[in-house]
Amino acid sequence: MSRRLELAITESAEELKALLHQQSQVKGKERVQALYLLKSEQVTELKALGKVLGRHPSPLYRWFEGYRARGLAGLLELGTAHNGRARAIPPAVEQALKQRLEVPPGFKSYGAIQQWLKEEYGLQIKYKTVHQTVRYRLKAKLKVARPSHLHREEAAGVDFKKSSHGA
């Protein structure tokens, strides 16, 4: 059997029920509901509360730490998602790259972009990172004309187009 959860809830069950109906976000409702269930003594243990809410006890513990520290404001404070590591290409450099991609000559390859980042900003960025940033974040494509043969005859190309379309 789990240990009883010791949490001094200052609000009454009626206040919490009213606050529960005022919540517009699911996360806020879930947190107020957890307090309400504890205050009304429908649940007394963290593990049992986790089962009722369909949550692992660790986030519940964090919610209650916020409540202990800052009251309802601490409980209802929804943190922003933070993925941890900073981007390899800083936002300012990414913006400069975006502007540089819009200039007509652009870049011939992702390797050329890597070289430009190294020369201009001193950044040693992996090819894959450069490709993903340019292609998927900046939604840009490197459009380079295919190389043509040095001794190609223009007239032969025009004749071919005429004969293949209208034949």
* Residues 40, 76: Cα–Cα separation, whole Å: 19
Q: Which residues of 100-136 are buried (b: 16+ CB within 10 A; e: fewer)?
A: bbeeeeebeebeebbebbeeeeebebeeebbeebbee
Whether residue 38 lies inside any domain: the answer is yes
Whether residue 59 lies inside any domain: the answer is yes
pLDDT of residue 80: 64
Does residue 4 sit in helix, strand or coil? Answer: strand
DSSP string covering 33-53, please?
Answer: HHHHHHHTTS--BHHHHHHHH
Closest CA to 78 of 34, 29, 38, 13: 29
List, for residues 61-72, the tens digit of each pLDDT value: 888 888 888 888
Domain count, the chain: 2
Whether residue 81 lies inside any domain: the answer is no
Closest CA to 133 of 103, 97, 84: 97
- Please tell me whether the overall predicted TM-score, pTM, comes out greater than 0.75 for this model: no
Asked if 69 and 112 sit in the same domain, the reply is: no
Asked if 18 and 71 sit in the same domain, the reply is: yes
What is the dihedral sign for C-alpha 38, 42, 47, 53?
negative
List, for residues 77-96, the tens digit of each pLDDT value: 876 666 678 889 999 999 99
Query: How open is the CA angle 78-46-52, to the nearest 5 degrees?
Result: 80
Domain boundary among 31, 48, 76: 76
Whether residue 151 lies inside any domain: the answer is no
List, for residues 26-46, the tens digit of each pLDDT value: 989 999 999 999 999 899 898
Mean pLDDT computed over every residue of the chain = 87
Asked if 126 and 100 sit in the same domain, the reply is: yes
pLDDT of residue 152: 77
pLDDT of residue 101: 92
Angstrom distances, CA of residue 46 to CA of 29, 66, 144: 18, 15, 61
Asked if 103 and 57 sit in the same domain, the reply is: no
Domain residues for the domain of 45 are 13-76
